[in-house]
């Protein structure tokens, strides 16, 4: 009579097989899993997040009291924001704060930078360059690899630096596929 064998393959080089119903199956996989997790941590530390996309695009932005404002929407304190509808065309993730009329970028707390700093040159439309960087980041938790997208927007409007970032977990995979 043949013995049933269960097998778990972890990566291309780590494999373990044991008879079905063995009492200490967790112990058999503990060392290979720990080695895999350590290897992925080292690999992630060396490589960092993977760049999926890095684009800079010129866009027109309306600068007026309705689009350049201090708002606490989605923040703990009022932040200087500029609403830029064109960001919806350039980004993958949602950069619209709750209650705002368009996606936005932020420059910092309104106690440090004010709408007047941007509107000092008067209201109107300016052509600005918007950089959008989309990165993939992985992390291992037990036997699961979590994959997230991190999207960062950067621009400068009338000498003031603006930024906005969103993170979205997009998938779970086997730890052995975490790269």
Q: What is the pLDDT of residues 155-164, one digit of tens each?
A: 999 999 999 9
Spatial CB neighbours of 123, under 8 Å, sequence gap ≥ 6: 63, 64, 65
β-strands 68-71, 79-83: how paired? antiparallel
pTM for the full model?
0.73
Token output for 5: 């064998």
Q: What is the pLDDT of residues 139-152, one digit of tens each?
A: 888 889 999 999 99
Q: What is the pLDDT of residues 7-50, one digit of tens each?
A: 333 333 333 333 444 445 556 666 666 776 676 666 555 445 79
Q: For residues 9 and 29, what is the distance between their CA atoms, to the nearest angstrom?
A: 10
């Amino acid at each position: 009579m043949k013995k049933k064998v269960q097998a778990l393959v972890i990566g291309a080089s780590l494999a373990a097989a044991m008879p079905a119903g063995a009492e200490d199956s967790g112990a058999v996989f503990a060392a290979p899993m720990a080695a895999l997790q350590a290897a992925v941590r080292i690999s992630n530390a060396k490589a960092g997040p993977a760049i999926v996309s890095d684009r800079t695009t010129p866009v027109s932005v309306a600068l007026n009291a309705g689009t350049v404002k201090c708002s606490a929407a989605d923040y703990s304190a009022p932040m200087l924001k500029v609403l830029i509808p064109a960001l919806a065309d350039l980004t993958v993730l949602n950069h619209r704060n709750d209650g705002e009329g368009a996606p936005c970028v932020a420059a910092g707390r309104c106690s440090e930078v004010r709408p007047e700093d941007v509107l000092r040159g008067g209201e109107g439309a300016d052509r600005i360059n918007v950089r959008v960087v989309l990165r993939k980041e992985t992390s291992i938790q037990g036997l699961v690899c979590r994959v997230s997208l991190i999207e960062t927007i950067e621009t400068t409007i009338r000498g003031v630096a603006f930024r906005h970032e969103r993170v979205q977990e997009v998938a779970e995979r086997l730890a052995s596929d975490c790269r």
